[in-house]
Structure 1
Amino acid sequence: MKEKQLDLLRRPRRLRASSQIRSLVAETKLDIADLVCPLFVHEKEGKEEIGSMPGIFRYSLENLLEECSLLREKGINAVALFPYVPREKKDESGSYALDPGGIIPQAVEVLKKTIPDLLVITDVALDPYTLHGHDGIWNEKIKDVDNDATVEVLVKMAVMLAQKGADFVAPSDMMDGRVGAIRKALDSEGLSKTSILAYSAKFASAFYGPFRDAVGSGRQKGIYLDKKTYQLNPANSREACLEALLDEKEGADILMVKPAGPYLDIIFQIRQKTLLPLAAYQVSGEYASIVAAGLKGWIDPKKAALESLMAIKRAGADIILTYFAQSLARDPFFNF
């Protein structure tokens, strides 16, 4: 006897019946080439794991080269470099950021000489280099970061890193006018091919904690600086769009939203307002939350990582900076 069936013209489940069908009709595609791998570099020998970011390490130059060679071989096109600066090399003005012999300029030179087709993105901000941990020059009179004095230093830093061979300089400080000043300086120095990846909508987020451990920019462990006078208010979406459009006008080549997961709506809104490539940074706290829950056995960390990345891509990001890039390069699990 024929089983009784509902009289349905449309059965959406037909397009979910197998992995092959689901792949065929997938509206969002995530590929290893979409990912940028953030990497931490230190001046010590070997590599050391970051306690608040299981599976993520600080690398010596030798270990960095080995890791980047593997990542490039596995399909990663770009890395973003961040320094761990010893306390004895920090000062109030972050002067080590301008040292052409510093750990990041060295890393750029080594990578571009050895793996020339790997894109190298360098952070432009002072927080790893200052004793106080702020992203710029602290002005005691106004009890705040001095915007214009900071931009002067960031311009010099960006030019120096570009001269060392960085493909992208990435100002992450959120000072007013820094993208335009950097673009003008790069062009005047004959570095017009160097691109700017602007941290355009960077929010004053609680999700940066493990990163600050990684670069040693927290004033003391577990206590982090208030950066609300220059990073965006998490309550504001129109202001985030304004910042992005200002950066576009000033000459940014790629815009970025940071963090990614808690700000999918911001990614979506900015995507509607610009034709520029849009990046999103899945930050250290997002990574650590998924990994920690996975270690507890509360979630499947691989599936959660993939779902989180797919959501970021679906929201409108073309490029994703993520600490999962290394594990995905080694063990691709892109199939839902």
Structure 2
Amino acid sequence: MQTQRMSFIQSFSKLFPSKSSFIIFSLYIILFCNHGILVTASQTSSNRYEYNVATVVLLTETLKLLASVGLYCKDNEPKSLVKDVVKNKTVLALYLIPAFLYCLYNNLSFENLLRFDPTTYNLLLQFRIFFTAILFQVLFKKTLTGKQWLSLVILTLGCMLKQLDFNAESADSNAKMYGFNLFSWSTVLILVQMLCSCFAGVYNEYLLKNDGANVNIFVQNVFMYLDSIFCNILVLLFHGNLSTAFQYDNLAKIMNFKVIILMINNASVGIITSFFLKQLNSILKTFASALELVFTAILCYFLFHIPIALSTVMAICTVLFAVYLYTQNPVKGQEHDKESLEIEREELLMDEVLVKE
């Protein structure tokens, strides 16, 4: 019993180098579960949105920007923020890439949650796992071990189990589309959203830990959300909705309790994600995203009476096993890498001393 306890503590410390990193991990899962539930709750009985989705996304990005500025100014002078922005304008330009991808991702999330129930939506997004792992290896020049790849394969298989119910037809013609057709526009949209998510996440982590490593994290968030606002304005211009986006009628529909809570939740997700990628990594982020389906399935059963099929239970069990397997050999962060290098140097020095003696 004592040995098992020590093994668990060691695995836990490998995953989470500090208490704050575990809190960030937990908050990330909670907030993302809330996202799917709140978006579904904000729909009408006919599964439509009364509010302008693009306007909500733009206002959410603005809320993230204001929060980041406020958190920065809590410990720094406002004028230093301007200096940091000017000094690191190159990093500001680099953030246009993940900002555009996140912008597309956020807008597609509303569209895809009209086509899929929250549990199916989260399960389908888990196919980003392999793309994330490949991009992670390329950008960070780290090779995943066989055990790590095995846990990722099992995680993906767990997500695929849900497809056993994809050919089932709903008896209610007005119900959501719980079915799945591989060759459909819905599949294309979820695929695009998935690719946006994995590339934006890994590239954002790369900026946080490399090009922007010496830049205050809240300044980096300011860069991200300034670029995001710019991208969302372009989206509104593309759809020809910029002139009407902030008319009284549209804003009145947004000033709804459910929509306001949704925007606050999504703003919190943005802030927490930056801390997640700074302290942890994109691989662990895919496991956190997979764990969402466990909690989302349970919550949606009680809140929206969405049934939990046998395949969903099997999928959840498989995902939990994959998570357990990954905890035995997780990807080490930069802090762990530095510690390993220091230990290796100390061992080399000791060897040199022994040889001289």
Same fold (TM over 0.5): no
TM-score by length of 1: 0.28
Highest RCO, 1 vs 2 (Cα 8 Å, sep ≥ 6): 2
TM-score by length of 2: 0.26
- Please identify which structure carries the higher strand content: 1
- Please identify which structure carries the higher helix content: 2
Q: Which has the larger radius of gyration?
A: 2
